[in-house]
Amino acid sequence: MTNLYPFVLETLPYDYSALMPIIDEETVRIHHDKHQQTYTDNLNKLLIVNEGEQSKNLDELLNSNIQAIKNNAGGVWNHVFYWRCMTKPESVLLNDKVKNLLTKYFGGVEEFKTQFENAALSRFGSGWAWLVKTKEGKLEIVSTANQDNPLSDGNKPLLTIDVWEHAYYLNYQNRRAEYVKAWWSLVNWEMVGESIG
């Protein structure tokens, strides 16, 4: 992740078509090249006129006292992480390490998925659902609005799904539940395991 000003749009870790048929190529292009680029551009513009914030890295900007900077820094951070959380459909299987932790904290893999989906579907309007590691080292599911990020609450993101409509509207229209259910086949479980540490 480009971590210092001036920020640049990070390249996707795969081809635009890699997530098909779950997420179509056009959605990925618009989402990455338009939405994420806009957050990146807006963040840089804000930092031009707020020079005191320029020395902060992206994580620090998530806690900026200037709301517009915080919003756009979140837009950059969240999207970079979202793309990393996914890979080609069914190409990375859930490993025993992660499976055991999901069982420990949520009662099982399917129970975890149900709770995570509920967080994604109950988020009113735009936002995200996250699997996080708390300061105490526990795994929890949280949901954030707009471009808020769990790091601001001291939690380490391990997995996220974007439930802003632009993430799924071309394929799924208003059927968020269908998108969330299909999304599981894209999860990069290897990255989740590495993030847990």
Under the banding of pLDDT at 50, 70 and 90, the label for residue 3 is confident
- Do 104 and 188 fall within a single domain? yes
Under the banding of pLDDT at 50, 70 and 90, the label for residue 197 is confident
Helix, strand, coil % over all residues of the chain, rounded to 5: 55, 10, 35
- Do 110 and 181 fall within a single domain? yes
Beta bridge partners of 60: none
- Do 77 and 116 fall within a single domain? no
Is residue 186 a part of any domain in this protein?
yes
- Do 36 and 56 fall within a single domain? yes
Residue 2, pLDDT > 90, answer no
Is residue 2 a part of any domain in this protein?
no
Residue 190, pLDDT > 70, answer yes
| Residue 118: domain span | 96-196
- Do 108 and 188 fall within a single domain? yes
Is residue 15 a part of any domain in this protein?
no
Residue 195 main-chain phi, psi, to 5 deg: -70, -35
Is residue 142 a part of any domain in this protein?
yes
Per-residue model confidence (pLDDT) at position 117: 98
Is residue 16 a part of any domain in this protein?
no
Per-residue model confidence (pLDDT) at position 98: 97
Q: What is the CATH number of the domain that holds 104?
A: 3.55.40.20
Report the predicted TM-score, pTM, of the whole model to 2 decimal places.
0.97
pLDDT by residue (tens digit) across 13-59?
999 999 999 999 999 999 999 999 999 999 999 999 999 999 999 99
Angstrom distance (rounded) from CA 23 to CA 169: 10
Is residue 8 a part of any domain in this protein?
no
- Do 102 and 78 fall within a single domain? no
- Do 114 and 176 fall within a single domain? yes
pLDDT by residue (tens digit) across 129-178?
999 999 999 999 999 999 999 999 999 999 999 999 999 999 999 999 99
Mean pLDDT of 90-100: 95
Q: Which one has a higher pLDDT value, 3 or 146?
A: 146
Residue 1, pLDDT > 80, answer no
Number of domains in the chain: 2
Is residue 183 a part of any domain in this protein?
yes
- Do 77 and 105 fall within a single domain? no
The stretches of 49-92 forming alpha helices (DSSP H) are 58-61, 67-84
Beta bridge partners of 131: 141, 159
- Do 192 and 142 fall within a single domain? yes
- Do 104 and 170 fall within a single domain? yes
- Output the DSSP codes for 3-39: -SSSP-PPPPSS-TTTTTTTS-HHHHHIIIIIIIHHH
